[in-house]
Structure 1
Amino acid sequence: MASPSEVASKETEKAETESNTSRAPTSINMELERRAVRKLDFTILPVMAMFYFLSFLDRSNIGNARVAGLEKGLHLADKQYQIAVTVTYVPYIAAELPANLLLRKIGPRLLMPSLLTIWGIMVTLQGLVSSYGGLVTVRAFLGLAEGPMFPGIVLYLSGFYTRKELSIRIALFFSSASLSGAFSGLLAAAIQKMDGIGGRAGWAWIFILEGLFTILMGITGFFLVPSTPRDSKFLSAEEKDAIMARLERDRPSIQPSDEFSMKEVLRSLRSPHVVVVFVLFFMTGATLYGLALFLPSIVNQLGFSPDRTQLLSVGPFAAAFFFTLITAYWSDHFRSRGVASAFVGIIAVAGWALYLGAPNKHVAYGALYLMVPGVYAMAPVLSAWMANNSEPYYRRATSVALGFIATNSGGILSTWRFPTKEGPKFTKTTIMNLVFSCLLVVGPLGNAYYLSRKNKAKKHPGYREQMLAKYSDSKSPDGGVDAWMDLGDRHPDFVYAL
C-alpha cells in the first residue's frame, strides 16, 4: 500500500491535469511542480499534523484523566465534570473567526506556534489544579488558545495547495486526531502508573507531561512554520515560483491583493452552500466530540476495567486513522465531496444502529469500529469542501471559521449528552446521533445537487455577460483580477467543487 506522502504526490499530478480557469500557460514544468509540492508535503504537513495532534490530544485527554481518577481527586459531581468540558468550547468558538481574519496580518509563523505554546502551559496547569474552580478556569483559557488552530490550519493549507488536492492534505493532518485518540489511551495507561510520584495523582501527571511536550513543540514551531510558500526555507526560488504559478492557475484570487472587508464576511453568511455545510459541521461536531471526549467512559461503562479501558480505546481510533486517509484520497481522486461525505455517513449510521441494538458489551464495543471511523472521516472532506467553494481570501477565511464554529457548537451539545446514569447505551444520545448520521447522508447529496445546478447556470452566456459587465474595461476575457477579487466564487469561471 502506498504511503500517505506517495498518495499525496500522485494526487498532485492528477490535480494539475485540469484547471478551472482559462489562464493556464501553454507550457508547465510538471516535474518541477511535483518536486516542489513533494517538498511541501514533507516540510509543512508533518508540522501541521503535530500541531493538530497536540490540539486534539490536549483537549480530549480529560476523558482519560476522568477514568484515571480526576473526578474523585477533585471531588467532582457528574454535572461539574460536564461543565468543565463545556466551558472549553465557549472561548474556543469565540476565538475562531477573529483569529482566521487576523491570520494573514499577524502571520502563521508567529500566530500558530504562539498559540501552541500558550495552550501547552494551560494543559500543564490542569495537572496542578486542586479544585473545581481552578479546573474550569484553566479549561476556559485552554479553549481560547486552542480555538484558532483547526480553522487556521485549513485556511493556511489552502494557500499552499490547489483546491482539488486539498482533501487528502487536510486528512493527513486531521487523521492525527484519530491517532491522538489512540495514543491518548496508550499514554494514559502508562502515565497513570506514576500515581503518587511527587505527591501528584496519576491523572495529574497525564496533563503535566503532555502539556510540557506541547510547550516544547510550540517553541520549536517558530523555526518550522513559513507564513507563505515564498517564505519556505526548503524551496528553491524556482520551486517557489512554480508553486505560486500553479496556485494562481487554480484560482486567480489566491494573490493577496484584497483587503479585509465586512462585505466578504456577509457574503459568506449569505451563501447557501456555506449555510448547508455549516449545518453538516454542527452534526459532525456533536457526534465527533462526543466520541472523542467520552469514548473511554463509554468503554469503561460497558464493563471493562480502567486499565483495559485505556487500551481498548486505542482500536477504534486507529481504524479511524486509516479510514480517514482512504476516504480523503477517494474524495480527491474522483473530485467528489458530496458523495464521499454521504458514504462516510452511511458507515456512521451502521455503527450507531448496531450500538443501539447490541445484545452484549462485545457487540457494542465492536460497533465503535464503525461509529468512530464513520464520524472522523467526515471532517476532512467537509473542511476541504468549505475551503474549496469560497473565494477570495477573506470570504474563504470566514467560511472555514464558520464551519468550525458549527463543529464546536456541536461539541458543546455533546458534553451534555453522556450523563453517567444513562450509560452504557446512552439510548437518547445514540438515537440523536443516529438521526444526525442519517442527515449527514442526505445533506451532502443535496448540497452537491445545488452546486451542480450553480455550475450549469454559470455556463449560460447570459450569466457571464451579466456578471462581467462592470469589468468590460479589462483587456482580459475573464474581467481580470478585479473581477476575481470582487466576484470570488460567483465568478463565471469559478467551478464549484461537488
Structure 2
Amino acid sequence: MVYREKDLDGGSPASLDRVETGTPYDETLVCPPHTTERKLVNKIDFHVVPFLCILYLLAFLDRVNIANANVAGMSGDLHLEGHEYNNALVIFFVPYILFEIPSNILLKKFKPHVWLSGCMFLFGLTTTLQGVVQNYSGLLATRFFLGLFESGMFPGCFYLLSSWYLRTEAQRRYSFFFSSTTLAGAFAGLLAAAIGKMDGIAGYRGWRWIFILEGILTCVVSAAFFFVLPDFPEDSKWLSEDERAFVVNRLRSEQGASAVERKTSSKDVANVFKDYKIFLGGFMYFGLIVPAYSYAYFSPAIINGYGYGKIQTQLHSVPPWAAAFGFAMILAYLSDKTRHRFAYAVFAVCIAIAGFAILISVHHNRPLEYAALFLVAMGCYSAMPIIVCWFNMNLGGHHRRSVGSAWQVAFGNIGGIIAVYCFLKKDAPLYTKGYSICIAFTCLSVISCIAYYIACVAQNRHREKTVTDVGLTEYEKTELGDLNPEYRYLV
C-alpha cells in the first residue's frame, strides 16, 4: 500500500490518496503546475468517454434494430419462415466471435482512431444495405458482414478505456460507456416509432427506412470520428508533454508498465490462457450474454404479445432501457466509492433473476409482467459493465489486457448464438423455455463471479504472505503483468 500526492481541486492543498497496489510509486512524479489531477482526469473524460459512448451506441443500435424492423413487418415482406429470422440473428455472431482477438491486436497496430473509425464506417454501410435486401439470403449476407465489422467495437473500446483510468476510478466510466447499449435500446424504440411512419415514402416500407437512415447516420459520424477518437495515452496529441508523462506514470504507479510499444505475439496469446482466471472471466460474461441478448432481440416481440400495436410496442420498449441506464450508474458510483466489485455484480444479477422468475410464473397480469422486464433490463445491463470492468482492470500490461479483454467478450458472445434460439414463435406468448434458459445462465454467471472472487482473494493473500522482492527486473515485471508477485487484484 502506498500514498501519493493528489491535488483535489484548483485551490485546495494536496491531500493523500490511498492507492491499492504493490507496484512502487514514482515519488518524483508531480502533477504539472498548470493543472490538477482532478482537472486532468476531467480532461481525459471529455476526450475519451463521450466519443466511445457514441461509437458503441451506434454499433449496438445497428445490431439490434433488426428487432424493431421485424415488428414493423420485415419477416413478412422477406417471406421469412420457421427459424429463418433466428438464423439471421445468429449468423451475426460467427465472425463477431472469431475476429475479436485479432481485432484488438490490429487496433493496437494501426492505432484506435484509424481502426475503430474504419470499422464504424463499414458496419454503418452494411446496416444501410440491410434496408435494400430483397430476400432471406441477402439478409444473411448483410448480417454476416455486420458481425465482421462490429467484432472490434466492444472489446476495443473496453481495452482503450482500461488504458486511461486507474482501477478505482474506472467503473463509472465503464458503466457509462456500457450504458450506451441501454441508450441504444431506448433510441431504437423511439426512432423505430418515428421512422415507421415513413412507410411508403420513395416506395420503401417503414422497416427499410429504419436500416437505411440509421446506417447513413453511422457512416457520417464515422468520418468525423477519424479525427476525434482517442488513441492510447502514450500517443495522445491533445495532452501536453508533461501531462502525457504524468498520465502514463500515474497508471504505471498502480498497474506497472503498460508496454504499449511492445508487439503482441502468438506466444503472448497462448500464455494468457495459462491463467485459469481468464476462463472464469469468460464464464462470468457468458452467463449474462444469453439473457441480455434475449432481452435486446426479443423484448419488442414480448411486449407486442401483451396486446399493444406496432407503434405502442416500440414506445413501451423505451422505459426499461432508461431505467437500466439509471440503475447501472448508481451501482457504478457505489462500486467505485467502495472500491469493490463482487457484491455489486452479484446483486445486479439477482435483480435479473427476480425479473425472469416473475415472467416465468405470472401470466395475464400485464402491469406486473411489464414491470418484470424492468428488473431484467436493470439487472443484466448493470451487472455486465461491472463484470467486464472488474476483469479487464485486473489484467496487467497491454499484451495481457488486449488478449484477455477480447477473449472475455468473444467467449461471452457465444451466448448470443444460444439467445437467438431461446425465444421462438411457437413458444409465444408464454416463452417458458426461453425464461428457463435465461435463469439457468444468470445462475452460471453468479457461480462464476463467486469462483473469480475466491481466486483473486486467494492470490492476494498468498502474495501478502510470500516475499514479493524476488529480484525481478522491470522488464520481467512488465512481461508478467498481473502475474507479477507485487500485483494485487481488486475484488
TM-score class, shorter-chain normalisation, is: over 0.9
Cα distance 1:347–1:413, how it changes in 2: closer, same or farther (>3 A)? same
Matches within 5 A, 1:330-479: 330-359=334-363, 360-462=365-467, 464=468, 468=470, 472=471, 479=472
Q: Matched residues in 2 for 1:153 and 1:296: separation? A: 28
| Secondary structure in 2 matching 1:161 | coil
| Secondary structure in 2 matching 1:227 | coil
| Secondary structure in 1 matching 2:257 | helix
Q: Matched residues in 1 for 2:26 and 2:461: separation? A: 25
Q: For residue 493 of structure 1, what is the aligned residue in structure 2?
A: 486
Q: Matched residues in 1 for 2:166 and 2:360: separation? A: 41
Q: Of 239, 249, 261, which residue of structure 1 is paired with 2:243? A: 239
Q: Structure 1, residues 189-223: CA drift from partner, whole Å, max 9, x if none?
A: 00011001011000000000000000011101111
Q: For residue 44 of structure 2, what is the aligned residue in structure 1?
A: 40
Q: Percent identity?
A: 36
Aligned Cα RMSD in Å? 1.9
Alignment TM-score, normalising by the size of structure 1: 0.92
Q: Matched residues in 2 for 1:121 and 1:234: separation? A: 30
Q: Which amino acid aligns with 1:311?
A: L
Cα distance 1:345–1:170, how it changes in 2: closer, same or farther (>3 A)? same
Q: Structure 1, residues 165-211: CA drift from partner, whole Å, max 9, x if none?
A: 22211111110100110110000000011001011000000000000
In 2, are the aligned partners of 1:100 and 1:152 still within 8 Å (CA)? yes
Q: For residue 3 of structure 2, what is the aligned residue in structure 1?
A: none
In 1, are the aligned partners of 2:304 and 2:310 still within 8 Å (CA)? yes
Tell me if 1:299 matches 2:300: no
Cα distance 1:123–1:14, how it changes in 2: closer, same or farther (>3 A)? farther
Q: Structure 1 residue 409: deviation in Å?
A: 0.6
Q: Matched residues in 1 for 2:464 and 2:258: separation? A: 23
In 2, are the aligned partners of 1:327 and 1:377 still within 8 Å (CA)? yes
In 2, are the aligned partners of 1:288 and 1:376 still within 8 Å (CA)? yes
Q: For residue 161 of structure 1, what is the aligned residue in structure 2?
A: 165
- Range with greater deviation from structure 2 (201-210 or 77-86): 77-86
Q: For residue 24 of structure 1, what is the aligned residue in structure 2?
A: 25
Q: Matched residues in 1 for 2:458 and 2:237: separation? A: 43
In 2, are the aligned partners of 1:55 and 1:146 still within 8 Å (CA)? yes
In 1, are the aligned partners of 2:283 and 2:445 still within 8 Å (CA)? no
Q: For residue 5 of structure 1, what is the aligned residue in structure 2?
A: none
Q: Matched residues in 2 for 1:261 and 1:187: separation? A: 44
| Secondary structure in 1 matching 2:227 | coil
Q: Structure 1, residues 416-472: CA drift from partner, whole Å, max 9, x if none?
A: 11101112221011112112223333331232122101001112235x36xx3xxx3
Unaligned residue ranges in structure 1 (runs of 5+): 1-8, 473-478
In 1, are the aligned partners of 2:23 and 2:487 still within 8 Å (CA)? no
| Secondary structure in 1 matching 2:354 | helix
Q: For residue 146 of structure 1, what is the aligned residue in structure 2?
A: 150
Q: Which amino acid aligns with 1:63?
A: A
Q: Structure 1 residue 122: deviation in Å?
A: 0.2
| Secondary structure in 2 matching 1:418 | coil
Q: Which amino acid aligns with 1:68?
A: A
- Number of aligned pairs? 476
Q: Which amino acid aligns with 1:487?
A: L
Q: For residue 4 of structure 1, what is the aligned residue in structure 2?
A: none
Q: Structure 1, residues 393-425: CA drift from partner, whole Å, max 9, x if none?
A: 112111111111122110111001110111222
- Range with greater deviation from structure 2 (287-296 or 264-273): 264-273
Alignment TM-score, normalising by the size of structure 2: 0.93
Tell me if 1:329 matches 2:339: no
Q: Of 265, 270, 275, which residue of structure 2 is paired with 1:271? A: 275
Q: Which amino acid aligns with 1:132?
A: Y
Q: Matched residues in 2 for 1:429 and 1:277: separation? A: 24
Cα distance 1:15–1:251, how it changes in 2: closer, same or farther (>3 A)? farther
